[in-house]
Amino acid sequence: MKICAFFLAPVTLVLLGVTASAHEGHSHHVQGEKTVAGDQRTFTTVLLETLPDNSFSMNEKTYTWKHRDDLGGQSEAMSKAAIGGLHNNADEDPETQEVVTVVANHGLVTLQADLKEWTLLENQDPYFAKGMNAHGTDCFQFDDEVLWAFSSTNTREVVIAKRGEILARLPKPTGDEFENEVVNQYYRDGGAFSPCDVVWLPKAESLVVVTGYTPGDYALTAKFIDGQWKWSGPAWGGKVGKGGPFQTAHGVEVATIDGKETVIVASRGHGRIYGFDANGDAVSLPGANEQKFIALPEGSNPCNVSLTNDSAFLPLLNSLSTTNGVAPVLVMVDGSVVGNLIPASYDGLEYMHHMHGVCTVTRDGELFAIALSWPNGGENRNGKRNDGQTAVFQAVEVVEH
C-alpha cells in the first residue's frame, strides 16, 4: 500500500533511469545501469522505435520499459501453479520491501527486496496453499507492526496475516454490520460475497474491500474492534442500473489528495476510476469529469491500481485497439494516459495476454513494475495459449542522440 498525491503532476526530483549522453542528429536510444543487488552490468542499447508502445512520458522526459529477465525468478512449482491459475495482485511490504502475493495451490510467496527471486515463505500457515488466492493484496502498518491483507475470490473471504501467521479471516457479512441499510439488507437476503481487492486507510484506521464480482458491487469497511477484525462502519456503491456507480468494482487503493485521505476505486466493466472519502462520499479526482469519475480510453477494463511517484499504473484485462490483441498496463498522470507497458510484446512473454495486477516499486531512485497476468482458460481450450506469469520491468530514460 502506497500513499501519495494521486494523479498530480510529477515532482522534478523523480529519477526513473540513468541518463545517457546526448548528441545531435542521432536516433532515440535508452541506456541505464542495473541498480538492484549491486549488479552493475550495463543494459544493451535499444532503439526506442523498436518499442513504440512500451514508453511513457512525464516531467518532460520519456522513458521506456526494459524487461529485466534476470529478476523475478520463480521455482518450477510456483511457475506450474501460476500458469494454471494466477488470478492475483501483489503489494510491497513497507518495512522489508518484499513484494507479497498468494499463488493458489502453491502458497504465500515473496519477491525479495532485491527483486531477484520469488520464494515460498517459510513456516506459513498451511491454509495459504489450500486454494485461496491473492486477487487483491495490501501490506500496511498497524500498531507498530506490518500486516498483510488478502482478498481471496477463491475462498470468498478477506485474510489478514502477520507474515505467514493468519490473524483473522473475514467471511461474508451477516447484514447488521454497516451504516448503510441497503447494504445490510443485501446481506440479510443472502447476497453473494466475493472480495476483489482490499486497502488499509491509515487515517480512518479501517480496511476498505470492494466486491465487484457480485450483484451488490459494494465497497465495505472493516475495523479492529475489541481485539478482533470485524465488518463495521461505512459501506457504499452498488451496481450501475441499481442505484450505484460501479460496474465491477475490481481494484482499490488509497491516496492523499489536497491533504485528504481518498479511496481510489477501479471499476472494470465500464473503464472508470472513482474517488471517495472514508465515508463513501464522492470525491472529484484531478482529471475527473462532472460526474466525478475519470473515463479511461474506450475499451479499458482496469483490474487494479498501483500508485508510485505521483503516477498511477493500471493493468487492463483485455487489449485496446492500439495494443495488437494483448492487454497493456496504462501509465497515468493527472488523469491522463501518458504511456503503456505491454508485457506480451517482449520476447519470452508472448503468453501474458491479460494483465490482472501490477506492483510498482522504487529501488535507488529507479522505478520497477512487477506485472502479473491472468490465464484465460477459454482461450487456452480454443488453441490461443495464454498463461499466468509474472515479469519485472525497469523504467529507463530515453535520450535523443
Question: Is it the case that residue 128 has pLDDT exceeding 60?
Answer: yes
Per-residue confidence (pLDDT) for residue 265, from 0 to 100: 98
Per-residue confidence (pLDDT) for residue 59, from 0 to 100: 87
> Would residue 338 count as lying in a domain?
yes
- For residue 239, give the amino acid letter: K
Per-residue confidence (pLDDT) for residue 34, from 0 to 100: 40
Report yes or no: 293 and 276 within 8 Å, Cβ to Cβ.
no
Give the separation between CA 160 and CA 381, rounded to whole angstroms: 35
Q: What is the per-residue pLDDT across 236-294, written as a single tens digit (0 to 9) for each?
A: 999 999 999 999 999 999 999 999 999 999 999 999 999 999 999 999 999 999 999 99
Q: Please give the full DSSP string across 319-382, using - where no structure is assigned.
A: --TTTTTSPPEEEEETTEEEEEE-GGGSTT-TT--EEEEEEEEEETTEEEEEEEEE--HHHHHT
Per-residue confidence (pLDDT) for residue 68, from 0 to 100: 98
Q: Please tell me the total count of domains within the chain.
A: 1
Across all residues in the chain, what is the average pLDDT?
A: 88
Per-residue confidence (pLDDT) for residue 14, from 0 to 100: 28
* Domain limits for position 391: 28-361+372-400
Tell me which of 19-23, 35-39, 385-389 is least confident.
Answer: 19-23
> Would residue 261 count as lying in a domain?
yes
As to burial, measured by CB atoms within 10 angstroms (0-12 exposed, 13-18 middle, 19+ buried), residue 25 is exposed
Question: Is it the case that residue 17 has pLDDT exceeding 80?
Answer: no
Report yes or no: 138 and 1 within 8 Å, Cβ to Cβ.
yes
> Would residue 102 count as lying in a domain?
yes
Question: Is it the case that residue 57 has pLDDT exceeding 60?
Answer: yes
> Would residue 4 count as lying in a domain?
no
The percentage of residues in the chain with a pLDDT greater than 90, rounded to a whole number, is 83
Distance of CA 262 to the CA centre of its chain: 17
DSSP 115: S
Per-residue confidence (pLDDT) for residue 2, from 0 to 100: 59
Question: Is it the case that residue 51 has pLDDT exceeding 70?
Answer: no
- For residue 84, give the amino acid letter: G
> Would residue 235 count as lying in a domain?
yes
| Across 40-57, average pLDDT | 49
Question: Is it the case that residue 45 has pLDDT exceeding 60?
Answer: no
Question: Is it the case that residue 37 has pLDDT exceeding 60?
Answer: no
Q: What is the per-residue pLDDT across 197-237, written as a single tens digit (0 to 9) for each?
A: 999 999 999 999 999 999 999 999 999 999 999 999 999 99
> Would residue 367 count as lying in a domain?
no
> Would residue 189 count as lying in a domain?
yes
Per-residue confidence (pLDDT) for residue 400, from 0 to 100: 75
Q: What is the per-residue pLDDT across 71-82, written as a single tens digit (0 to 9) for each?
A: 999 999 999 999
> Would residue 162 count as lying in a domain?
yes
Look at 85 and 194; give whichever has higher pLDDT: 194
Give the pLDDT band (50/70/90) at residue 309. Answer: confident
| Across 41-45, average pLDDT | 28
Question: Is it the case that residue 112 has pLDDT exceeding 90?
Answer: yes
- For residue 142, give the amino acid letter: F
CA–CA distances in Å: residue 180 to residues 183, 224, 226: 5, 19, 22
The CATH number linked to 134 is 2.120.10.30
Question: Is it the case that residue 171 has pLDDT exceeding 80?
Answer: yes
Report yes or no: 219 and 233 within 8 Å, Cβ to Cβ.
no
| Across 381-395, average pLDDT | 95
Give the pLDDT band (50/70/90) at residue 399. Answer: confident
Q: Which residues contact 113 (CB under 8 A, 6 or more apart)?
A: 96, 97, 98, 363
Q: Which residues contact 270 (CB under 8 A, 6 or more apart)?
A: 240, 247
Give the separation between CA 305 and CA 100, rounded to whole angstroms: 16
Give the pLDDT band (50/70/90) at residue 20. Answer: very low
Report yes or no: 214 and 191 within 8 Å, Cβ to Cβ.
yes
Pairing of strands 390-400, 61-67: antiparallel
Which residues partner with 67 through β-bridges?
A: 393
